[in-house]
Amino acid sequence: MLEKMEKRFDPEEVIEEFEALTKDAKRVQIETLKKILKENGEAEYLKKWGLDGKTDPESYSSCVPLVTHKDLEPLIQQIANGAPHPILTGKPITTISLSSGTTQGKRKFVPFNDELTETTMQIYRTSFAFRNREYPIVNGKALSFIYGSKPFKTNGGLLAGTATSNVYRSEQFKKTMKEMQTPCCSPDEVIFGPDFHQSLYCHLLCGLIFRDEIQVISSTFAHSIVHSFRSFELVWEELCSDIKTGTLSPRITVPTIRNAMAKMLKPNPELANKIHEKCLSLSNWCRLIEELFPNVKYIYGIMTGSMEPYLKKLRHYSGEIPLLSADYGSSEGWIGANVNPTRPPEMATFAVLPNIGYFEFIPLREIGADSQDNNELESPSVRVEPRPVGLTDVRVGEEYEVVVTNVAGLYRYRLGDVVKVVGFHNSTPELQFVCRRNLMLTINIDKNTEKDLQLSVEAAAKLLAAEKLEVVDFTSQVDLYSDPGHYVIFWEVSGEASDEVLKECCNCLDSTFVDAGYVSSRKVQAIGPLELKILKRGTFQKILDHYVGLGSTLNQFKTPRCVGPVNQMVLQILCDNVVKSFISSAFG
Ligand code: AMP
């Protein structure tokens, strides 16, 4: 009976636990590895590598190889097909997560289990406890732009859905949100609705109905918040009319959503007028969120990595409301929590929780300088890489690729992310996200990462800002059909920019890639002039719709920053929507 009593959530207790774990990170890692290997000792995969019951880190790293998703794909496929034997885990896997696939153009199947949900809740509670010290929440609600994709059954009858949907569907998620006093203001019918355009509209409507109670505005990735308020700009009058009359717009056609919303929507002309007036008083929607939601303490979502380009617009909408960057994880499992919430989002760091997985780090410093091979991740065997180091052996200032061993059957799995160690919290490292490792613009000796592209776009976008225009979103491509090959950058711009300014932007993009390999190749024309292609308004919405059509959810959507040949559909959308193009003359 006693065990059944609900344990109350005490943020200070959570912090105490976190401090204890991180003070003893090395021992906790050894214990975590031991637990994972013991629980899965019967898995064929581990048996194959001859661990013979050994659970220490040295035996583990000498017996079990580093792998990528590609290596494990056939095994995960067998699991999805319903193979009855223990392939990767001791206990059968009953659920499959789908990664967003927006970075690679292809969605990945990843094993999922209840323990992963547990570790997700641990991360949520930990970062919340630290946030709550600075920005306490009392009896609030959250306007959370979250979406659950419809689960489907794999050939073998396993439940499959996006990782975020698997979490949002769980009872633990709702319980944790309640404990944090920020339950989502929208009903389940909206979160799990079959049409994300309709769900998004209703999320906004629910937010406005509960306007005074909303204390947090959140989404998994910041893109979704920006996207939601861009949509608000288009539908605000309709939303006001719904609130005024108490009748839902005919654009909502899904019966379950209509029924659920009907229970919440009552005529409230006073509220409708107030929102209407506020919207009319704003200049270019500046400080929109602050005006609409007077009691919001902060805006929360992942704002680092490929989300950084949306910060400018988010700041524009949020005014003085603090922006707090969320934790670091993936469909393959969580890695670290943001325990320094007051840092600006660009500086956010993630303290690794040493009991949620076993972590190794491949040092990257030596790689690159003398290397012509940009494809290490795809073909690890062709080059000798430095040996991975353990969680507590990483060095401040160095960059690493993250290797994960998790509670759901991934062993020494290369996540493909590059992180930088910027300090330690007790004995666990604090990481900064740098970029995806294989997202590189490269033609010969040049190497430009997603971050380099972002910096270049930021610099060029300043020229647009002078014309009161902004880059709505961007992506890139390496064009090898031309001789020599060249970089192509695609921009969607918020309005009509003059050709003169766009030409300047194009030159600026070309000259701001500072990578020595790029600059020298451009000088000798081994790489051709950069091309800037301007897209029709709404092109990135089409790309998002394309991914959602494939079964991805808005939660995990990340605009692909470099579109490779495997991503034919997205390339097609881009090419079909180019309205103008410019060729750089930056190198004469
Ligand atoms: P998904 O493929 O949808 O599971 O997304 C996981 C990927 O999103 C990670 O491997 C990272 O590349 C990225 N990601 C997750 N959390 C963060 C973060 N806090 N900052 C930057 N990028 C992140």
The 10s digit of each residue's pLDDT in 522-544 is 999 999 999 999 999 999 999 99
Q: What is the mean pLDDT of the chain?
A: 92
DSSP 475: E
Domain boundaries, the chain: 136-150+163-321, 450-583
Nearest partner of 348 among 300, 290, 403, 417, judged by Cα: 300
* CB 202, CB 278: distance < 8 Å: no
pLDDT of the residue at 565: 85
Contacts of 187 (CB under 8 A, 6+ apart): 206, 260, 261, 263, 264
Query: Taking CA 491 as the corner, what is the angle to CA 485 and CA 497, rounded to the nearest 5 degrees?
Result: 120
User: Is residue 298 within 8 Å of residue 276, measured between CB atoms?
Assistant: no
Q: Whose CA is nearest to atom 16 of ligand 1?
A: 328
- Ligand 1 atom index nearest CA of 416: 10
% the chain with pLDDT above 90: 80
Give the pLDDT band (50/70/90) at residue 89: very high
Q: What is the pLDDT of residue 104?
A: 59
Alpha-carbon span 289 to 382, nearest angstrom: 51
Residue-wise pLDDT for 500-512, tens only, equals: 999 999 999 999 9
| Predicted local distance difference test score (pLDDT) of residue 145 | 96
Question: For residue 4, what pLDDT is reported?
Answer: 43
Q: How confident is the model at residue 373 (pLDDT cuts 50, 70, 90)?
A: very low
Q: Please say if the pLDDT value at position 26 is more than 70.
A: yes
- Give this prediction's pTM: 0.90
pLDDT at 98: 85
Atom of ligand 1 nearest to the CA of 556: 3
pLDDT at position 163 is 84
Which ligand 1 atom lies nearest to the CA of residue 110? 4
**Amino acid 300: pLDDT:** 97
The band of 234, judged by pLDDT with boundaries at 50, 70 and 90, is very high
> Helix, strand or coil for residue 67?
strand
What does the pLDDT look like over 338-363, one tens digit per residue?
999 999 999 999 999 999 999 999 99
Q: What is the pLDDT of residues 103-113, one digit of tens each?
A: 555 678 999 99
Checking if the pLDDT of 190 tops 50, the result is yes
Which residue has a Cα nearest atom 21 of ligand 1? Answer: 305
User: For the ranges 177-181, 338-342, 468-472, 571-575, which has the lowest average pLDDT?
Assistant: 177-181
The predicted structure's pLDDT at residue 437: 84
Report pLDDT digits (tens) over 282-318: 999 999 999 999 999 999 999 999 899 999 999 999 9
Residue 226, amino acid: V
C-alpha–C-alpha distance, residues 190 and 176, integer Å:
19
Ligand 1 center to 305 CA (angstroms): 8
Question: What is the distance between the alpha carbons of residues 37 and 33, in angstroms, rounded to a whole number?
Answer: 6
pLDDT band at 99 (very low <50, low <70, confident <90, very high): confident
Q: Give the mean pLDDT of 208-237.
A: 96
Residue bearing the CA closest to ligand 1, atom 19 = 328
C-alpha 122 – ligand 1 centre gap (Å)? 18
Ligand 1 centroid distance, CA of 472 (Å) = 21
Quote the ligand 1 centre to 398 CA distance (angstroms): 20
Ligand 1 centroid – CA 333 distance (Å): 10
Range of lowest pLDDT (126-135, 254-263, 322-331, 545-554): 545-554
Ligand 1 pocket check for 435: Cβ under 6 Å: no
Cα–Cα distance list, 162 to 110, 154, 171, 177 (Å): 10, 13, 16, 19
d(CA 199, CA 264): 15
